[in-house]
Structure 1
Amino acid sequence: MFMKVALTIAFLASWVQLVLGAPVASIASLEKRDVFVPPVLYPHAGTVWTKGQRHNVTWDTSSAPVNITNKEGTILLRKGDLTTPLILATGFDILLGRIEVTVPWVISDTDYSVVLFGDSGNFSPQFQIIGSEL
């Protein structure tokens, strides 16, 4: 019986030591962060891109909160309901409001959109890309 109690106390003591050794941030040092989901303005419905062209993907930054959770942006191409692995731009400041991309060589279709990632993913309306017929 004594052995069980001693092992339990040793286990609890090591657990308390682990917890007390963890870094603690004071509430005053933590900043409130907000999720920013800017609407994509371009491309919009009716837009036609052609492979190899350069275009500015634009989004509205007018309602950006002061403290954004993730300011680093990435733009991916989406086909229908699937986000493709095609990265059009990455590593830019989400507060820029626009970034130039090169239209990739894809199969022509009318159901493409761009996905703007920062805090979360926000899709443009679907538009057309005139691409490469394989």
Structure 2
Amino acid sequence: MMTPFTTFIITFLSLFAMAISLPVARLQARDVFVPPILYPHAGTIWKVGNHHNVTWDTAGAPVNITNSIGHIYLVVHGLIDLDNELAGGFNILDGRVVIQVPDVAPADDYALVLFGDSGNFSPNFTITD
């Protein structure tokens, strides 16, 4: 005679065997896209409050991008300022987005990071007041 525990184990194993034998939907392969930032480039000087087009190269983008929603943050002295997004919610395949230069201390070691599928940093550039 089977005990309740044995009945439970046999039922559980039967359900498990049925679950792993179900066909699995074929997932479409996705690729990581890391578009290089074209502007700002090394030697660029921005003035606080001005508007600029941040641009990146979309040539060679894969058909299936893992995450196509972009975000841009300022990098200050090598640290990403995640509290202050400069732009967000745009399609990474747009290749450009307009941002306003934030009110920051003048320095020559600012950069931008473009998030979407991956993070990609611009070269360092200067912000003046």
Q: TM-score range by the shorter chain?
A: 0.7 to 0.9
Query: What number of residue pairs does the alignment pair up?
Result: 125
Matched with 2:62 is: 65
Matched with 2:101 is: 103
Alignment TM-score, normalising by the size of structure 2: 0.85
Tell me how far 1:63 sits from its aligned partner.
Answer: 1.1
Choose from 37, 40, 43 the match for 1:43. Answer: 40
Report the AA paired with residue 60 of structure 2.
S
Are the structure 2 counterparts of residues 105 and 32 from structure 1 closer, same or farther at C-alpha, using a change threshold of 3 Å?
A: same
Unaligned runs of 5+ in 2: none
Tell me how far 1:26 sits from its aligned partner.
Answer: 1.4
Choose from 53, 57, 65 the match for 2:50. Answer: 53
Matched with 1:26 is: 25
Give the alignment's Cα RMSD to 1 decimal. 2.3
Alignment TM-score, normalising by the size of structure 1: 0.82
Are the structure 2 counterparts of residues 20 and 116 from structure 1 closer, same or farther at C-alpha, using a change threshold of 3 Å?
A: same
Choose from 115, 118, 121 the match for 1:120. Answer: 118
- Structure 2 residue matching 1:69: 3-state secondary structure: coil
Work out the CA distance in 1 between the residues paired with 2:23 and 2:104: 50
Unaligned runs of 5+ in 1: none
